[in-house]
Amino acid sequence: MKTPIVLAAFGTTTRAMDTYSFIDRICAERFPEHPIYWAFSSRIVKERSSGRKNDIRMQHPCQVLSELKQEGYDWAVVQSLHLMCGHEFFRLLEEVRECDIRTSMGLPLLNQPEDYYEIADIFIREFSTDDDEALVLVGHGTDHPGWCSYVALDHICRRKAPAGLYVGVVEHGHPTMDSVIRELKRAGYKRARLVPFLLVAGMHFAKDMSGAGDSWKRAFEAAGISVSLEDRGIGFNRSVIRLFCQHIEDALEVIP
């Protein structure tokens, strides 16, 4: 039997299933001989989604892995769909360690330096802007020591694209919204395109990035910078999912 692949996401109750279905299709194309399963670490999301009709069962990682063990599998790849190594990724590791089946972990999107450079290349290549428009990747942020992943990505983006590509976070840590606005004004930008650096453009996009209240859009406009918004998360970006698939390949390679 070919090693099963478990795609493990935190989960979200907003606009998620279309994104997950897209990811599922790309992974199935890349690994046609490997059965693919889904797991979600958010208990609240699982409870809220239990009555919905969709193609993906809302189960926690240990539920999925226990069923695979009962079906006779000795190994499974668990691919984290987190963007960096923060609280949720390490909670996933702890949960997977409690399962009876042997597992090989596929690491989050941003792990080794090559991942950061690849992500920078993807956005430089696929989100062209005019000389007077900045591209800003807006991530979630975290109070985990892994917050520095966003700073590292910003640093690499600025080296790859000396003008025009910035990174910020909506909560916890750096680079902050205010610091990004200061950088854009210092560089003379009058326009900015905000791109959710989130797997799913859900609540944080609707409220923190584009909302009518205290949002990034309002703050940029108040600073004299006009804003356009991408309304899809990076889970709909085929090149990003291919990078996740490379992490799956890496996890498969270590299984005897």
Interhelix angle 87-97/61-70, rounded to 10 degrees, is 30
Q: Tell whether 174 is in a known binding site.
A: no
Paired with 133 in beta bridges are: 191
What is residue 165's three-state secondary structure? strand
The HSE-up count of residue 70 (CA atoms within 13 Å, CB side) is 6
Q: Tell whether 126 is in a known binding site.
A: no
- Catalytic one among 34, 82, 87, 140? 140
* Residue 251, H or E segment: helix 238-253
The span from the CA of 152 to the CA of 158, in Å, is 10
The answer to whether 58 and 40 are in contact (CB under 8 A) is yes
Helices (H), 59-147: 61-70, 87-97, 113-126
The answer to whether 110 and 116 are in contact (CB under 8 A) is yes
Q: Tell whether 171 is in a known binding site.
A: yes
The answer to whether 155 is a known catalytic residue is no
State the Cα torsion 116-149-179-230 to the nearest 10°. 60
Q: What order of strands is seen across the sheet that includes strand 75-80?
A: 36-40, 5-9, 75-80, 102-106
Task: Tell me which long-range contacts 18-21 makes (C-beta under 8 A, separation of at least 24).
Answer: 19/199, 19/200, 19/233, 19/235, 19/236, 20/56, 20/235, 21/54, 21/55, 21/56
Catalytic residues: 140
Annotated binding-site positions? 140, 171, 204
Annotated binding-site positions for Co(2+)? 140, 171, 204
